[in-house]
Every structure is written in structure tokens, then in C-alpha cells.
Amino acid sequence: MRTRIIPIPDISLSDEEAWRDLAARSVEPNPFYEADFLGPACRHLRNGRGVVLLVAEEAGRFHACLPVHSVNLSASVSPPVIPSWRHLYGCLGTPLVAPERSVEALSCLLITLRGAGAWPRVVVLELFGDDGPVATYIRLAADALGLVVHPYASGERAVLKPQAEEADALPARVGKERQAKARQWRRLCADWADPAVTDRAKDRDGSTNFLAIEASGWKGKAGTALASQARDAAFYREVAARFRASGRLRLYSLEAGGKTLAMQTNLCAGHYMFDWKVGYDEQFASYGPGAQLQLRVLELAREDGLRWIDTCADVSNDHQLRLCPDRRRITTLAIGKGGRMENQVLALAVLAVETNGKLRGLSSRTLRYRLVESRIGKVLYR
């Protein structure tokens, strides 16, 4: 097995097909690391042209992959820290890994990422799902190479498991929140006749309508909606079109009285679904339209046999944690040598990555985005 570095914007058709095959075989789904998501991201988003896909392959078949910034991985002198690529719209950083020869494939990636210089690099994986098989495999791979895996900034993200909810009683905190949402739903039904949820993924104007409703609220006013930047809107349209073509886009719309109250863009991968983007009409804010749509989608997920729905929310999103009974662990992993001095180096590596992210976040647009997200959470799920 060997590693290869592939510039994502210039990927060949054969490599893209191998990438898709890996995504279909991966032991953990991650649509945010698939060709249909990363391809558009690299074409349209800032700094996307400098991103490469590091793959572990054999005989043209991919066994693992990870997107990283374009650095000379074979150089003896290079940056001391190499993080996985992260942008504003990516919600998960778990590598795609095939079940067969998974530890060997991850070992190949770590060897290449670390480099062969006098001072091997520290590898940092952000937004890593730290409670699945890939977490086990990457620790086994690191151990085989004499490396240590340190988790930092860990937290729990809200998840919905449709099938489990039918058998188990909801936690008291979640049950109380659901009861409040049930009262809002009854009031919505009384005020607006019979609200219904429709999947608009196949509608020609579905993506345009979502962009419009998202831009009509707080995000639009603050300039952080997808439609506020031409390149971001183009990115969303291409992602939606690609997932629509493969039958994996869900564009749920909560409608009543001829009006659209809220819309939610979901991406599917196998038996899993990811709540990617949401928008709502502010005149219906008192009904909690985002939560109402989410709960209706949960009912549809049961019918479709989905195993779980990842809310893609921040680990600190208390609104989602009150609404959803299930959790998944999200963390930042730093991988390097062990020892007292090396542990300090690992901690400094994570600090460097976090500081770099905060410096990027000092842009006026990103600051507005964070502020608006906080405001939307209070209104949308109250």
C-alpha cells in the first residue's frame, strides 16, 4: 500500500470514482469528506484551490483519505504542524476509511503526514468523531508507529436515533423540551390549519428557495447567509445538485397556509443523515419552526429506517442538546511522539491550530456569522 497526494480541483475521473467507492465502503459515513462536497468546496470557497487529498491506495483502490492544505509533504523542512482542512461549512473531520486493512491504511497516512525530517510534524485532526471504529483504528495505527494520540477540546454533539426513541423513554430534560414543542405545534395547527413537511429536493427551484429563505432572516441582515457571497451560493448549489443527482439530498420544507415556515438541507450517507443547513421565516419564530421541522423529519427518518441523524450542531449548542436524547463525541486529536516534552509539543500544536482558526475568525464576516448563529439558536429552538 502506498500514499498519493491528489490536488482536489484537478482530480481525474478515475481517481474521483475510486474516492466515491471509498465513501460507499467507509466504516463511518462522512459526506463532508466526499467528492460531492469537497470538490465544490475547493472550487468555490476561499483557500480551496490549495487543498489536496492524501490517499492510501493499492492497485488503484483507495483505502483511506484525508484533505489537507497543500504543503510539500516530502520536504525535509516544512511547517511543524499539519492539520486536516477545515472551512466554515464542514461539520465533521473523520477520515474516510475502508473496513479492510484500515489500520494499515491509516498508518500510511500518518507516516506521510508526519514526514521524514529531523523534526517530524504533529498531525492535528479537528472535528473528529471520537466514538466510532475510526477512532479505534487510528489509535492502533499510532501505537504501531510509536506515536501518541491526545484528545483536546472534546465535547458531545446532539444526535437523533430514530429507531431507539421508540423503545426507550426520553430523558427528563429532553421530554420536557419535547412537551413544550408539542404545545407550540398544537398552536401552529390551530393558527395555520394543517402544516405539513414536504421534501423539495427534486424541485427545480428547491435550492433557490432555500437560499432565499435563509437570506430573509438574521443571516441575510448580517451578511452571513450563503446567498450573501456569490461563491458560497455557488458552492451550495453545486453540493445540492450533486447530492440530488445521487438521490442523497433531502430538502425538507415545513409549509402551512401556502407559506414556507422553515427549510432544512440534509445530506445522506448510507443509513445516516446529516442536518447541514437550516433557514426559517422570522414571522413564524414564535412557533419554533426549526425545532418543529426537525421533529417532523425524525418521524420521516423512522419510516426510512435511518440509524441516526447527526444535527451537525456545535458541541456547545444547548438548544439541540435539550431537544435530542442521543450524543456523539467530537474532539480535536493531536498525534505525535510521547514523553513529557513531546506532550507539551502536542499541546502547543493544538494551540497553534486553534489560534490560526481564531485569527481566520477575526474577519468581519466570520464574526458576524458566529454572532448570528447564536442569535438564531435562541429564536429558532426556543
- Domain extents in the chain: 2-146, 159-326+373-380
Q: Does the pLDDT of residue 69 top 70, yes or no?
A: yes
Closest listed residue to residue 41, CA positions, set 17, 16, 8, 12: 8
Q: Do domains 2-146 and 159-326+373-380 have the same CATH topology?
A: yes
**C-alpha 14, offset from chain centre:** 26
- Give the whole-angstrom CA distance, residue 290 versus residue 130: 28
Q: Which amino acid makes up residue 94? A: T
Hey, which CATH number is domain 2-146, 2.40.10, 1.25.40, 3.40.630, 3.30.420? 3.40.630
Residue-wise pLDDT tens digits, 343-361: 666 666 666 666 655 544 4
**Ramachandran category for residue 339: left, alpha or beta (phi over 0 → left; psi -120 to 50 → alpha):** left
Residue 252 near residue 199 (C-beta atoms within 8 A): yes
Sheet with strand 122-129: strands edge to edge: 81-83, 122-129, 326-336, 148-160, 308-310, 272-280, 259-269, 249-256, 196-199
* Poorest-pLDDT segment among 97-101, 169-173, 188-192, 233-237: 169-173
Q: Which amino acid makes up residue 46? A: R
Which residue has 426513541 as its cell numbers? Answer: 165
Confidence of residue 382 (pLDDT cuts 50, 70, 90): very low
Which residue has 408539542 as its cell numbers? Answer: 182
First and final C-alpha spacing in the chain = 51
Closest listed residue to residue 268, CA positions, set 233, 305, 321: 305
With a pLDDT cut of 90, the percent of the chain lying above it is 62
Whole-number Cα distances in Å, 337 to 77, 81, 358: 18, 13, 26
Residue-wise pLDDT tens digits, 106-155: 999 999 998 876 677 889 899 999 999 999 999 999 999 999 898 888 89
Q: Which residue has the higher pLDDT, 376 or 373?
A: 373
Report the predicted TM-score, pTM, of the whole model to 2 decimal places.
0.87
Sheet with strand 61-69: strands edge to edge: 2-7, 51-58, 61-69, 96-97
C-alpha cell at position 320: 439541540
Helical ranges in the chain per DSSP H: 13-25, 35-44, 102-114, 133-144, 162-167, 172-191, 206-215, 218-222, 230-245, 289-304, 318-323, 340-360, 364-380
- Give the whole-angstrom CA distance, residue 38 versus residue 267: 13
What dihedral do alpha carbons 38, 42, 43, 44 form, nearest 10°?
A: 100
User: What number does CATH give the domain 159-326+373-380?
Assistant: 3.40.630.30
- Give the whole-angstrom CA distance, residue 22 versus residue 37: 14
Q: Which residue has the higher pLDDT, 263 or 166?
A: 263
